[in-house]
């Protein structure tokens, strides 16, 4: 009989990182820099590990092996590392990006690439670099969608064709040892994705025509490429079915399945005749956060969204093991981040309100759990500020899930605390239990932090998400306001020391808070905010096309740029600069390809013209996501100084 994980808790071993001890609150650099260890992956056999490490302001990729320690790696240089994983036992893949521009097109985009690292020879190769038929100016060149069994080759999709031609999205077979690739299939002009097994068989090709809204699935499982499914997207561009992966035994495809009546979407099986059956998993009252897939996108299970992750796998034993691991860390979130080919060993990341965030390996056969590395080695368990989940009612009765991070040693309600309100970005994202570096920093300095999952947030069902459609600056903003006012009524927060800080959509919400509830906040800070909604919608139309699914998506969320023109202007903070009473801090990366820096520039100009207190900081070389340690730390220092100057320290 297998031992329980709980029984082995006292035998927890630390491998890469030493034990942690309590100390005074860590310095700002500990929070502002990128984590000391992140992106951990395990090799197919389970004997090697790949991860990124940040030391002294520089970033490295590292390969380690059981019993040997570090066996390879190097600096990442100026590229922005995004992920690292094993293609084979001897090849690690680093996915990285850089902000690019070209004479062919206007503007900038985030261009990704895949780099192969031969562990034994310590040799780097940029994949697809030697392939001369790539269409110029495309992004997403770092995608690896399949691995070829017994060979050092991977499958990668890319647009093929000369500039000025109508490119096709082809399937390429790329060598890992040299920058060479061959075309496996050219695809069609409306091809959007490929699914291939480790023998090179094309299990699925997805096509979607943005003009006709026609969606098709083809398969080469039965010889040749045969169409097995066809439908049309709804008026708003959404599909009832789309491919997520492949069944573990390759008996069919795993497809996303949803109708307008479904509160929670599910995943189902589509066989290779196009017949759909399911759902495949039993938890039908949770939003699916992600479908978990191996290197050939064979599905092993799903992660459900919520304040704490919940897992379900085809392997029922793994489902039970993840449940038991979650019980071992009741105040934290346990995330599955990697596994061996046979699922005998899994990697999890534990983070939340009680444990310093770190990575653990669980050997399912030996029933042994080992701590491998700490994400923030200088933050002890005792330094972690407790995070609690709450739920409050908005003014119309809607239930709003939220997080509150409290300073260590402080009790909710014991005294009114200075408050930082942090609405998330997206807006179809959500805040869940975990280690939020910015929230943890401000809590470590004595501030209470509120993170509301306002309507429009993902993860709490279709109705909650769709209740936010068209409610930018309206009910979505009311949900944030109602959470703040609740804390003030209960005397948990100090009404004279309340600040709102957000990034992306959260930056819009921060500016909207300053514009439309000016008496509520004593300071407003916005990172890469949307400030001018008509301008944002115009930019989306120009970049994606007036009939595109991208524009349809943003129209659904915000409103029609023509029919709702007056409304969009009225809920744009740039047009309400005269309303502001609180000082404003704006921060924006000059390489932002998601929200143009123009928004912060126009907001600054409008506030200055209205005679308001505003400061704008351009983050040199930074993108939309605060990817660099230097600029992330700069951002945190600017916020820290701004908050202290406006509502004081604690």
Quote the radius of gyration of the chain (alpha carbons, Å). Answer: 25
Read off the pLDDT of each residue in 357-380 and give the average, rounded to a whole number: 95
pLDDT at 448 over 90: yes
The pLDDT, as a whole number, for residue 110 is 61
Other CB atoms within 10 Å distance of the CB of residue 282: 9
Tokens 């100090």 belong to which residue? Answer: 494
The residue among 272, 228, 268 whose CA lies nearest residue 250 is: 272
Mean of the per-residue pLDDT values for the chain? Answer: 90
DSSP-assigned states of every residue in 193-214: EEEE-TT--EEEEEEE-TTT-E
pLDDT band at 9 (very low <50, low <70, confident <90, very high): very low
Contacts of 540 (CB under 8 A, 6+ apart): 550, 551, 554
Query: For 244, phi and psi rounded to 5 degrees?
Result: -105, -30
The pLDDT, as a whole number, for residue 464 is 94
- Percentage with pLDDT > 70 across the chain: 93
Dihedral sign of CA atoms 433, 505, 580, 615 in order: positive
What is the rounded CA–CA span in Å between residue 127 and residue 144?
10
pTM score: 0.90
pLDDT digits (tens, 9 = 90+) for 547-582: 888 888 899 999 998 999 999 999 999 999 999 999
pLDDT band at 111 (very low <50, low <70, confident <90, very high): low
pLDDT at 6 over 50: no
Number of H-type helices and E-type strands within the chain:
11, 36
Q: Which two tokens stand for residue 570?
A: 């009225």
What is the rounded CA–CA span in Å between residue 117 and residue 125?
7
* Alpha carbons within 13 A on the beta-carbon side of 534: 14
Tell how strand 584-589 and strand 614-619 pair up.
Answer: parallel
Read off the pLDDT of each residue in 575-595 and give the average, rounded to a whole number: 94
Residue 622's alpha-carbon distances to 110, 524, 626, in angstroms, are: 11, 21, 6
The pLDDT, as a whole number, for residue 19 is 43
* Kind plus residue range of the DSSP H or E element containing 322: helix 316-328
pLDDT digits (tens, 9 = 90+) for 594-621: 899 999 999 999 999 999 999 999 999 8
The pLDDT, as a whole number, for residue 98 is 66
The pLDDT, as a whole number, for residue 22 is 47
What is the rounded CA–CA span in Å between residue 534 and residue 526?
19
The pLDDT, as a whole number, for residue 508 is 97
What is the rounded CA–CA span in Å between residue 350 and residue 386?
14
577, 609 Cβ separation under 8 angstroms: yes
The pLDDT, as a whole number, for residue 163 is 76
446 alpha-carbon distance from chain centroid: 28
The residue among 339, 575, 301 whose CA lies nearest residue 310 is: 301
Residue 568's alpha-carbon distances to 513, 526, 531, in angstroms, are: 16, 19, 11
Read off the pLDDT of each residue in 288-312 and give the average, rounded to a whole number: 94
pLDDT at 382 over 60: yes
pLDDT digits (tens, 9 = 90+) for 251-296: 999 998 776 666 777 899 999 999 999 899 988 888 899 999 999 9
Read off the pLDDT of each residue in 529-538 and give the average, rounded to a whole number: 94
Tell how strand 448-452 and strand 417-421 pair up.
Answer: parallel
30 alpha-carbon distance from chain centroid: 22
What is the rounded CA–CA span in Å between residue 121 and residue 141?
24
Strands (DSSP E) contained in 233-287 are 241-246, 253-257, 266-270, 276-277
Read off the pLDDT of each residue in 432-459 and give the average, rounded to a whole number: 96
The residue among 29, 4, 5 whose CA lies nearest residue 334 is: 5
What is the rounded CA–CA span in Å between residue 428 and residue 469?
10
What is the rounded CA–CA span in Å between residue 332 and residue 327?
9
Helices 629-647 and 437-444 cross at an angle (nearest 10°) of 40
Read off the pLDDT of each residue in 182-186 and give the average, rounded to a whole number: 93
∠ CA(460), CA(465), CA(470), 5° rounding? 160
pLDDT at 14 over 60: no
pLDDT at 519 over 50: yes
pLDDT digits (tens, 9 = 90+) for 210-242: 888 899 999 999 888 999 999 998 776 778 889
Beta bridge partners of 191: 207
Lowest mean pLDDT among 127-131, 276-280, 336-340, 471-475: 127-131
In terms of Cβ atoms closer than 10 Å to its own Cβ (0-12, 13-18, 19+), residue 490 is exposed
pLDDT at 388 over 50: yes
* Kind plus residue range of the DSSP H or E element containing 146: strand 146-147
* Alpha carbons within 13 A on the beta-carbon side of 160: 21
214-219: strand order across its sheet: 191-196, 202-208, 214-219, 226-232
pLDDT digits (tens, 9 = 90+) for 406-419: 999 998 888 999 99
The pLDDT, as a whole number, for residue 106 is 57
3 state DSSP class of 23: coil
3 state DSSP class of 514: helix
The residue among 489, 490, 492, 529 whose CA lies nearest residue 509 is: 529
Higher pLDDT: 346 or 109? It is: 346
Q: Which two tokens stand for residue 597?
A: 């820096």
3 state DSSP class of 489: helix
Residue 609's alpha-carbon distances to 503, 522, 602, 613, 617, in angstroms, are: 24, 20, 10, 10, 18
Higher pLDDT: 16 or 68? It is: 68
């Amino acid at each position: 009989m297998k031992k329980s994980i709980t029984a082995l808790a006292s035998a927890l071993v630390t491998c890469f990182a030493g034990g942690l001890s309590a100390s005074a609150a860590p310095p700002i650099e500990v929070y502002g820099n990128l984590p000391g260890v992140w992106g951990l992956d395990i090799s197919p056999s389970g004997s090697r590990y790949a991860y990124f490490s940040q030391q002294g302001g520089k970033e490295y990729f590292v390969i380690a092996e059981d019993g040997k320690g570090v066996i390879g790696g190097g600096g990442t240089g100026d590229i922005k590392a995004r992920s690292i994983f094993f293609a084979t036992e001897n090849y690690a893949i680093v996915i990285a990006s850089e902000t690019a521009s070209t004479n062919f097109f206007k503007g900038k985009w985030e261009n990704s690439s895949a780099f192969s690292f031969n562990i034994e020879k310590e040799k780097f190769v940029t994949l697809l670099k030697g392939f001369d038929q790539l269409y110029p100016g495309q992004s997403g060149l770092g995608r690896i969608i399949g691995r070829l069994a017994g060979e050092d080759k991977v499958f990668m999709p890319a647009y093929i064709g000369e500039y000025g031609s109508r490119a096709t999205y082809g399937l390429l077979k790329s060598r890992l040892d040299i920058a060479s690739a061959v075309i496996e299939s050219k695809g069609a002009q409306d091809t959007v994705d490929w699914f291939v097994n480790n023998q090179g068989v094309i299990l699925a090709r997805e096509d979607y025509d943005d003009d006709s809204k026609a969606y098709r699935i083809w398969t080469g499982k039965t010889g040749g490429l045969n169409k097995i499914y066809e439908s049309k997207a709804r008026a708003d561009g959404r599909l009832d079915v789309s491919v997520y992966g492949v069944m573990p035994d390759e008996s069919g495809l795993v497809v996303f399945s949803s109708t307008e009546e479904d509160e929670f979407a599910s995943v189902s099986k589509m066989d290779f005749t196009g017949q759909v059956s399911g759902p495949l998993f039993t938890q039908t009252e949770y939003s699916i956060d992600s479908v978990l897939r191996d290197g050939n996108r064979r599905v092993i299970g799903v992660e459900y969204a919520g304040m704490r992750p919940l897992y379900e796998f085809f392997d029922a034993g793994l489902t039970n093991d993840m449940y038991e691991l979650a019980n071992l860390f009741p105040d934290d979130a346990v995330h599955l981040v990697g596994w061996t080919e046979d699922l005998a060993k899994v990697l999890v990341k534990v983070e939340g309100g009680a444990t310093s965030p770190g990575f653990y390996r669980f050997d399912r056969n030996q029933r042994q759990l080992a701590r491998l590395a700490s994400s923030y080695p200088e933050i002890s368990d005792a330094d972690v500020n407790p995070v609690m989940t709450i739920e409050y009612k908005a003014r119309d009765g809607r239930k709003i899930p939220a997080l509150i991070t409290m300073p260590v040693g402080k009790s909710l309600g014991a005294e009114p605390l200075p408050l930082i309100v942090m609405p998330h970005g997206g807006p179809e994202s959500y805040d869940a239990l975990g280690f939020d570096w910015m929230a943890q920093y401000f809590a470590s300095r004595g501030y209470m932090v509120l993170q509301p999952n306002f309507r429009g947030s993902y993860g709490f069902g279709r109705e909650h998400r769709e209740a936010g459609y068209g409610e930018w600056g309206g009910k979505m903003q009311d949900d944030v306001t109602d959470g703040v006012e609740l804390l003030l009524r209960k005397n948990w927060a100090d009404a004279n020391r309340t600040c709102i800080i957000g990034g992306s959509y959260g930056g819009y919400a921060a500016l909207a808070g300053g514009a439309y509830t000016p008496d509520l906040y004593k300071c407003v800070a916005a990172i890469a905010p949307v400030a001018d909604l008509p301008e944002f919608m115009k930019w989306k139309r120009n970049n994606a096309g007036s009939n595109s699914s991208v524009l349809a998506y943003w129209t659904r969320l915000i409103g029609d740029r023509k029919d709702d023109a007056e409304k969009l202007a009225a809920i744009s903070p740039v047009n309400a600069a005269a309303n502001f009473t609180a000082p404003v801090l704006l921060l924006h990366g000059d390489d932002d390809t998601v929200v143009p820096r123009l928004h912060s520039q126009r907001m600054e100009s409008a506030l200055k013209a209205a005679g308001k207190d505003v400061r704008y900081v351009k983050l040199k070389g930074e993108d939309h996501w605060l990817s660099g340690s230097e600029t992330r730390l700069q951002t945190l220092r600017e916020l820290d100084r701004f908050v202290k100057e406006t509502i004081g320290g604690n």
